[in-house]
Amino acid sequence: MSKTVEDTKNYRFSHRRDRDFNKALKERVNKYFAEKGKTVHADANAVIKSVVMLTMYFAPFAALFIFDITNVWLFLTMWVLMGFGAAGIGVNIMHDANHGAYSSSPAVNKFMGLWMNVIGGSAATWKLQHNVLHHTYTNVDGVDHDIAGPPMLRFSPHQEAKPMHKYQYIYAWFLYGLMTLFRSFVTDFTNAYRFRKFGIVRSDKDLRKLLINVTVWKVIYFSYILAVPIIFLSAPAWMTVVGFIAMHFVLGLTLALIFQCAHVMDTCEFPLPDEKGNMENNWAVHQLHTTTNFSPKNRIFSWFIGGLNFQVEHHLFQNICHTHYRNLSKIVASTAEEFGIRYNTQKNFVIAVWNHGKMLKKLGTAPVPVESGHPHFKK
């Protein structure tokens, strides 16, 4: 059952457990930046990457008009490439920017964060869902909206198990591909109302402002991505619609796999507060226990997905640009080992996806644990 912001005010992470770990980790990360003389924000490599990702999205779109492509396979290929470009924009540009990690300038972060609106999402609703809820209460059922999927999917052992969930490991992948398509049409609007009910949208006036913001950007998005091609391209309208769906399927599946393989895994915990609202661990250890890395040695893959294969480091230091995560991971892993704290990682992305599928199958039949807050399944 979803909570309200008033409910979560009583949620308290422990301030006593593993305090030395927190202190040591912060000191070592600060020392790293001081000794290297590096900024925690985007460097030249991140800026170059931003240009590459924007080009990957807009160049195929421009090619549709410049070359007036009518061959159906080449036409659809351009849209598929746009899907990968949109994913690149999402994880490399808007993600850092909306976390305040792209630049030391709030204005620059706000501007770069708006690229999410340009590719069909809503920076305004995403920051409430992701920054406020997911990053604070990672994998806490009823609060973390990133594990609050549609009724057909069960992402937490504390959620109700339905007969259909038995087969979610088969059909989940298709639903992942529809994620951003559905979000562009529906979810950004429904989330606005959900967040008003939850309490992080404070008043009806704020809700109206949020809905106007979402609506204006949707009009802009659907005008350039659908209306303009349908009107001005020689290709029939159905090809544009199919291409648009294909683009979003690639985008949705890519993003879903990146984030689901970081949290909905058998190695991740799904803790709940006790009756008084106390969480078992402090916030940093909570992040380590609810998050996993994958493909730590694959530099090309890591480059494309914005370093989010280092999700542990991202959750601990969301205000630091993703280009630093690889180096920070060495610090976090060694510090965690020193203090006897589990550090989750998967060898590569294929194994991570496979294990996520196994977790979906397990969740499909596992009963809700008897013990409130118990992170594992009832045996």
Please write the tens of the pLDDT for every residue from 276-307: 889 999 999 999 999 999 999 999 999 999 99
The 10 Å CB-count burial string (b at 16+, else e) for 75-91 is: bbbbbbbbbbbbbbbbb
Tens of pLDDT, residues 310-362 = 999 999 999 999 999 999 999 999 999 999 999 999 999 999 999 999 999 99
What is the rounded distance in angstroms from the CA atom of residue 241 to the CA atom of residue 232? 14
- Alpha helices (runs of H) in the chain, residue ranges in sequence order: 5-8, 19-36, 44-66, 72-89, 95-98, 106-113, 115-118, 123-126, 168-177, 179-182, 188-198, 204-222, 228-232, 237-263, 283-290, 299-304, 311-316, 325-338, 349-365
What is the pLDDT, as a whole number, of residue 269? Answer: 97
The yes-or-no verdict on residue 181 having pLDDT over 70 is yes
pLDDT of amino acid 226: 98
Beta-strand pair 293-294/345-346: parallel
DSSP states of 62-116: HHHHHTT---HHHHHHHHHHHHHHHHHHIIIIIHHHHTT-S-S-HHHHHHHHTHH
The reply to whether 377 falls in a domain is no
pLDDT at 19: 87
Residue 371 included in any domain? no
Residue 254 half-sphere exposure, CB side, CA atoms within 13 Å? 23
What band does 5 get if pLDDT is binned at 50, 70 and 90? low
Average pLDDT on 211-230 reads 98
The answer to whether residue 171 sits within a structural domain is yes
Q: What percent of the chain has pLDDT over 70?
A: 95
- pLDDT, tens digit, 9 for 90 and up, residues 205-218: 999 999 999 999 99
Residue 376 has pLDDT above 60, yes or no: no
Helix (H, G, I), strand (E, B) or coil at 294: strand
Q: Which domain range does residue 172 map to? A: 5-365
Query: DSSP of 297-348, one letter per residue?
Result: T-HHHHHHTTTTT-HHHHHH-TTS-GGGHHHHHHHHHHHHHHTT----EESS
DSSP 8-state code for residue 142: T
Q: Output the average pLDDT for the chain.
A: 93
C-alpha 135 chain-centroid distance: 10
| pLDDT tens-digit readout, 130-149 | 998 999 999 999 999 999 98
Q: Give the residue among 335, 347, 310, 330 at the shortest CA–CA distance from 36.
A: 330
Reply yes or no on whether the pLDDT at 219 is more than 60. Answer: yes
| pLDDT confidence tier of residue 378, bands split at 50, 70 and 90 | very low
Residue 368's pLDDT is 77
Residues written for the chain: 379
Q: Is 212 part of any domain?
A: yes
Please write the tens of the pLDDT for every residue from 237-282: 999 999 999 999 999 999 999 999 999 999 999 999 998 889 999 9
Tell me, yes or no, whether 185 lies in a domain: yes
Q: How far apart are CA 276 and CA 274, in angstroms?
A: 5
The confidence score (pLDDT) of residue 4 equals: 58
Measured CA to CA, the distance from residue 63 to residue 282 in angstroms comes to 51
Q: What are phi and psi of 293, to 5 degrees?
A: -90, 170
Please determine, for residue 103, whether its predicted confidence score (pLDDT) is greater than 60: yes
Number of domains comprising the chain: 1
Share of the chain above pLDDT 90, in %: 88
User: What would the two tokens of residue 7 be?
Assistant: 């409910």
11 within some domain: yes
Model pLDDT, residue 17? 83
